[in-house]
Amino acid sequence: MKIYFSPFSPYVRKCLVTAHELGLDGRVQLLPSNANPVQRDQEIIAKNPLGKVPTFINDDGAVLYDSRVICEYLDELGGGRLFPRSGAARWEALTLQALGDGILDGALLARYEDVARPEALRWPEWRAGQLDKAETALAYLQAHPDVLDPGRVDIGTLTVACALWYLDLRFEGFGWRSRYSMVAAWYDRFSARPSLQRVWTL
């Protein structure tokens, strides 16, 4: 199996963390990529018309994207531990995954505003609105501590952990930890998992 890799893509990280949790880490080969919202990577586009990472190629040569599809594929391959099969637990896990992905969607758009858009064309209010998605999501988690049960390990909690990793990586000035101490305490404990400590490089 292969995945187009970027060391700072939180969505690639989400897939690799999932693979690690399922004991599949050593089976996924990392492929170099140069995904960019403006200068698009033609090699990725040849496999995935969206030209985005993560793009994943399974052992049969089938191409899968995006992270939600890749992670569910890995979960099925690895014995189905991270995606509950049915009932309330499934919908809770998928909804929490969507919350984590939503934090990342907003954070990535804010990041692109900082590094991809010419300075004269930047729109601070739009950037603030994107990061406010993280703000309101974190406020929700802080107000609902049962969602982040310390013993809960599923695609939802792993996605939220990857989102918080990315906020720490790219938005030091956002200062979410001081405002959401319960979420920070959960993350500090949860991120001690070997899958979340792992650093991937080409």
> Is the separation of the CB atoms in 170 and 115 below 8 Å?
no
CA angle (73, 102, 55) in 5-degree steps:
35
Query: What average pLDDT score do residues 83-101 get?
Result: 97
The CA distance from 42 to 162, in Å, is 27
CA distance 140 to 72: 25
Categorize the per-residue pLDDT at 35 as very low, low, confident or very high, splitting at 50, 70 and 90. Answer: confident
Say whether both 122 and 168 belong to one domain: yes
Is 82 a domain residue? no
Residue 12 domain flag = yes
CATH code of residue 19: 3.40.30.10
Both 33 and 55 in a single domain? Answer: yes
Residue 180 lies in a domain: yes
Residue 37 has pLDDT above 90, yes or no: no
pTM exceeds 0.85 for this model: yes
Question: Does residue 142 sit in the same domain as residue 192?
Answer: yes
Q: What is the rounded distance in angstroms from the CA atom of residue 71 to the CA atom of residue 15?
A: 6
Average pLDDT over residues 101-113: 97
The pLDDT, as a whole number, for residue 191 is 98
Are 21 and 69 in the same domain?
yes
Quick: pLDDT tens for 40-64. Answer: 999 999 999 999 999 999 999 999 9
Same domain, 62 and 96: no
User: Does residue 84 surpass a pLDDT of 90?
Assistant: yes
